[in-house]
């Protein structure tokens, strides 16, 4: 039987072999699966670091001083069976000989039946091993150097220096308060934990594993960018509360203190505790504290979001249409109102930029029916039933046809407007960050001497922001530098307390992460990267024309767009202003306004998708398509000051966002000079 260190070294070699066979030639693979390959490579790096550390210690002392099976027992217990995980990955590669071809892993295999789901399962296991090795590497070195110091009378000076460096890195700041877990969350966590069996005494190893996983998915991933980005994702907050709850449960176990006397276990837990306390401090910081979601938002999350234990269940060989298959990625899932006594749920998955797949599941007892639809965003007819004047306030419905010529249309009714917005965003690639009824009129001025022209009356206003385009950067040969791509930036989600988050539209904005950092698209074009200008946001107005026809009006919001309070009554304290005046500092282009009217007696052709991205085929049609007008300025009047205020606040934040996106775009262009980047 091989020694433990030899097993680690062999596992590291397997990890590097898998990466070379399946992933090293990637240049444009789907990001989710490319990350799987990177995690395998990182696992190999971590295991190699363990081997190097142990061998270094062995060279300093007598043979066999450290390399004993019992010395690494805690390491194996904490990290888990990484050898089995890597053998499964190796088997996956060897069973698919196409991996060695030049076209690359994803394109050759095509993620045939069940393979994509299995890769996702293995990816979760590999990623979890990596995170635990990263946490335990320094404590393991400390343990080995401590053993060496005990067994060797005279220690070399360089070892003393290394020991002091490690101790300084390992200084634990565990002074601080943990957040209080709300009572209703404690109850949910108690139920979730006890569903899998007794928790008396609380299981230590399962608890530590759960703490490490939930902490890694908590607010650690949230980047604070005040004043807009102050509220983390609801699920991130729930995972932080799980972490706090687990810390308290572990500390209440009388056996846990004894377990922490082990150097490795003690250091591992203290690192986790320090990170939990650090995340809690962010919520009561003096400057720009994080804002927790309200109880209603938390309770709207699905039951599986409150699970405590870590489960890596084996996947079967059968495709589940509600799960991503092949190159697909999940956008969201939502529960809908019951249909004829049957529970109803939808899953929306992205196939590519212009195509999504929608799966509707109807369940009653053990009976389960599944409907699967593919929607092409460049051909679909998207009917916003919820905005029809005759629709009641609680009629939250959206309909669609695969294309305008189809006779059959389909419709879904939602529990929450937020969920409807998420489907609308999946089809148009624009997220709704504000949605307000009470538009009175829409006017534009096309020349300096001409009068204001009315182009619509009544309806509602929405502000659309294009979801951040993903970066597909060239893989670098060195982990420290990458001369072929601009410097990396952390991505963040767009949230705020004034319309971008909370109970209104934008509370789900985390799902598409419209961030200033994601403003520039860097994609592969042959051997070069392509930098694209950010896509403008839009103020979309659902209104009626003078002829009484339903029409959409889209006013472009770019880096030159601004509100002009001097042209309305904002500066007059004696008059209550209900208008916003939109201008542009770019006098050459003015304020671009798109108008899309339905034909008489064809209200079922009121297609919201014409303003989506990529450009819809109806937007390219001559005659009955979208009409573009260049105006000097546009005036939108509302029925109340409150409606105006709601739209105005988010409009100004959107203008700021677009200026930031364009600034970063120009910064990326400047960084790309003398590099292999196309502009």
pLDDT (mean) for 347-354: 90
Contacts of 608 (CB under 8 A, 6+ apart): 382, 383, 384, 424, 428, 552
What structural domains and CATH numbers belong to the chain? Answer: 4-169 (no CATH), 183-306 (no CATH), 329-428 (2.30.29.30), 438-461+518-603+617-656 (2.30.29)
Instruction: Check pLDDT > 60 for residue 22.
Output: yes
- Using alpha carbons only, what angle is made at residue 659 by residues 653 and 662, rounded to the nearest 5 degrees? 140
DSSP class of 409: -
CA distance 118 to 36: 11
Of 277-281, 415-419, 505-509, the range with the lowest mean pLDDT is 505-509
Report pLDDT for 640.
92
pLDDT (mean) for 113-123: 65
CA distance 583 to 586: 9
Instruction: Check pLDDT > 80 for residue 511.
Output: no
pLDDT (mean) for 398-403: 82
Instruction: Check pLDDT > 50 for residue 86.
Output: yes
Report pLDDT for 110.
44
Closest by CA position to 243, among listed 268, 200, 207: 207
CA distance 510 to 467: 10
Report pLDDT for 630.
85
pLDDT (mean) for 328-356: 91
**Which of 123-137, 193-207, 373-387, 608-622 reaches the highest mean pLDDT?**
373-387
Average pLDDT over the chain, rounded to an integer: 75
Q: Give the H/E segment covering residue 629.
A: strand 627-631
CA distance 308 to 120: 20
Instruction: Check pLDDT > 90 for residue 462.
Output: yes
pLDDT (mean) for 453-472: 79
CA distance 510 to 613: 19
Instruction: Check pLDDT > 50 for residue 342.
Output: yes
Tokens of 287: 């400057």
pLDDT band at 198 (very low <50, low <70, confident <90, very high): low
Report pLDDT for 318.
43
CA distance 89 to 15: 8
Q: What is the distance of C-alpha 162 from the center of its chain?
A: 39
Residue that wins the pLDDT comparison between 76 and 165: 76
């Amino acid at each position: 039987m091989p020694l433990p260190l030899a097993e680690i070294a062999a596992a590291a070699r397997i990890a590097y072999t898998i990466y070379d066979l399946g992933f090293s030639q990637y240049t444009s693979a789907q990001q989710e699966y490319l990350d799987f390959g990177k995690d395998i490579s990182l696992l190999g790096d971590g295991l190699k670091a363990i081997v190097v550390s142990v061998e270094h210690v062995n060279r300093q002392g007598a043979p066999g001083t450290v390399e004993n099976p019992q010395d690494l027992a805690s390491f194996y217990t904490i990290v888990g069976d990484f050898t089995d995980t890597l053998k499964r990955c190796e088997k996956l590669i060897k069973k698919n000989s196409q991996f060695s071809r030049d076209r690359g892993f994803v394109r050759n295999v095509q993620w045939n039946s069940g393979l994509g789901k299995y890769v996702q399962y293995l990816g979760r296991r590999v990623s979890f091993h990596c995170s635990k090795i990263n946490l335990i590497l320094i404590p393991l070195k400390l343990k080995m150097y401590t053993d060496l110091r005990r067994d060797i009378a005279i220690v070399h000076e360089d070892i003393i220096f290394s020991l002091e460096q490690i101790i300084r890195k390992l200084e634990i700041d565990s002074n601080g308060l943990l957040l209080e877990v709300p009572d209703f969350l404690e109850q949910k966590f108690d139920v979730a934990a006890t569903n899998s069996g007794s928790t008396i005494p609380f299981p230590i190893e399962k608890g530590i594993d759960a703490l490490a996983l939930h902490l890694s998915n908590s607010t650690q991933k949230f980047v604070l960018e005040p004043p807009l980005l102050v509220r983390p994702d609801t699920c991130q907050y729930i995972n932080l509360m799980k972490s706090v709850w687990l810390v308290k449960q572990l500390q209440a176990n009388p056996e846990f203190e004894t377990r922490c006397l082990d150097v490795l276990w003690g250091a591992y837990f203290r690192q986790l505790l320090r990170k939990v306390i650090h995340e809690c401090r962010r919520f009561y910081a003096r400057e720009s504290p994080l804002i927790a979601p309200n109880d209603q938002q938390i309770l709207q999350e699905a039951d599986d979001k409150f699970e405590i234990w870590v489960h890596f269940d084996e996947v079967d060989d059968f495709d589940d249409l509600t799960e991503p298959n092949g190159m697909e990625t999940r956008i969201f899932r939502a529960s809908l109102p019951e249909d004829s006594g049957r529970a109803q749920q939808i899953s929306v998955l992205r196939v590519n930029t212009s195509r999504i797949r929608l799966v509707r599941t109807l369940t009653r007892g053990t009976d389960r029916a599944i409907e699967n639809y593919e929607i092409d965003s460049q051909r679909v007819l998207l009917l916003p039933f919820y905005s029809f004047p005759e629709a009641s306030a609680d009629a939250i419905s959206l309909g669609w046809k695969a294309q305008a010529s189809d006779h059959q249309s389909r419709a879904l009714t939602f529990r929450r407007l937020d969920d409807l917005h998420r489907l609308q965003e999946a089809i148009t690639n624009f997220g709704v960050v504000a949605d307000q009824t009470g538009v009175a009129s829409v006017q534009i001025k096309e020349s300096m001497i001409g009068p204001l022209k009315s182009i619509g009356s009544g309806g509602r206003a929405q502000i659309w922001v294009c979801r951040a385009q993903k970066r597909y950067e060239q893989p670098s040969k060195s982990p420290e530098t990458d001369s072929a791509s601009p410097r990396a930036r952390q991505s963040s989600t767009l949230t705020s307390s004034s319309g971008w988050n909370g109970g209104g539209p934008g509370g789900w904005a985390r799902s598409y992460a419209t961030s200033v950092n994601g403003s520039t698209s860097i994609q592969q074009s042959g051997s070069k990267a392509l930098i694209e200008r950010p896509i403008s946001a839009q103020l979309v107005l659902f209104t009626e024309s003078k002829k009484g026809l339903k029409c959409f009006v889209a006013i472009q919001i770019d880096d030159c767009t601004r509100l002009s309070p001097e042209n309305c009554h904002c500066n007059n304290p004696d008059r209550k202003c209900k208008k916003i005046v939109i201008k542009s500092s770019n006098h050459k282009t003015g304020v671009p306004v798109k108008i899309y009217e339905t034909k008489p007696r064809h209200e079922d052709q009121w297609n919201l998708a014409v303003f989506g991205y990529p450009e819809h085929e109806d937007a390219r049609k001559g005659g009955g398509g979208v009409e573009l007008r260049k105006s000097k300025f546009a005036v939108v009047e509302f029925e109340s000051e409150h409606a105006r205020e709601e739209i105005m606040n988010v409009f100004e934040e959107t203008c700021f966002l677009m200026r930031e996106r364009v600034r970063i775009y120009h910064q990326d262009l400047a960084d790309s000079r003398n590099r292999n980047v196309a502009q």
